[in-house]
């Protein structure tokens, strides 16, 4: 999968230092993956969920949420938001 944008992951990790390693772990796995569906993504990340129109990954033991748009056809992942669990629960991210 091609991932757009790693910079968003690094930027978030600059604010939440303990997020860096789990985000980079997700990046390494997703970058080498060849997912054709959410079921494939769940093989690598069992707690991934579809929250229309996004795919949401739990990161760092459920401490963070990585909100993405996944194009299985084009093998692309677009990072939309990286949030703390608290910010995710506020729901404001669903509007963008």
pLDDT tens digits along 38-58: 999 999 999 999 999 999 999
Q: Which residue has the higher pLDDT, 22 or 96?
A: 22
Total number of domains in the chain: 1
pLDDT (mean) for 83-90: 86
Asked, for residue 76, whether it belongs to a domain, the answer is yes
Asked, for residue 96, whether it belongs to a domain, the answer is no
pLDDT at residue 94 is higher than 80? no
Asked, for residue 22, whether it belongs to a domain, the answer is yes
Asked, for residue 6, whether it belongs to a domain, the answer is yes
Asked, for residue 38, whether it belongs to a domain, the answer is yes
pLDDT at position 89: 81
Asked, for residue 45, whether it belongs to a domain, the answer is yes
Say how far apart CA 23 and CA 62 lie, in whole Å: 12
pLDDT at residue 86 is higher than 90? no
Cα 8 to its chain centre, rounded Å, is 11
pLDDT at position 90: 78
Asked, for residue 14, whether it belongs to a domain, the answer is yes
Nearest Cα neighbor of 44 from 19, 70, 18 is 70
Please write the tens of the pLDDT for every residue from 10-48.
Answer: 999 999 989 999 999 999 999 999 999 999 999 999 999
Domain that holds residue 31: 2-91
4's tokens:
């757009």
Nearest Cα neighbor of 70 from 32, 27, 36, 25 is 36
CATH number at residue 73: 3.30.2310.20
List, as own/partner pairs, every contact residues 57-62 make where C-beta atoms lie below 8 angstroms and the sequence separation is at least 24, other chains included.
57/26, 59/19, 59/22, 59/23, 59/26, 60/18, 60/19, 60/22, 60/23, 61/22
């Amino acid at each position: 999968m091609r991932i757009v944008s790693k910079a968003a992951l690094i930027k978030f990790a600059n604010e939440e230092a303990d997020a860096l390693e789990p985000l980079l772990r997700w990046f390494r796995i997703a970058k080498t993956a060849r997912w054709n569906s959410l079921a494939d993504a769940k093989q690598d990340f069992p707690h991934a969920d579809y929250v229309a129109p996004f795919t949401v990954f739990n990161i760092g033991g459920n401490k963070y949420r990585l909100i993405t748009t996944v194009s299985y056809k084009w093998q692309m992942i677009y990072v939309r938001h990286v949030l703390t669990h608290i910010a995710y629960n506020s729901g404001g991210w669903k509007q963008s």
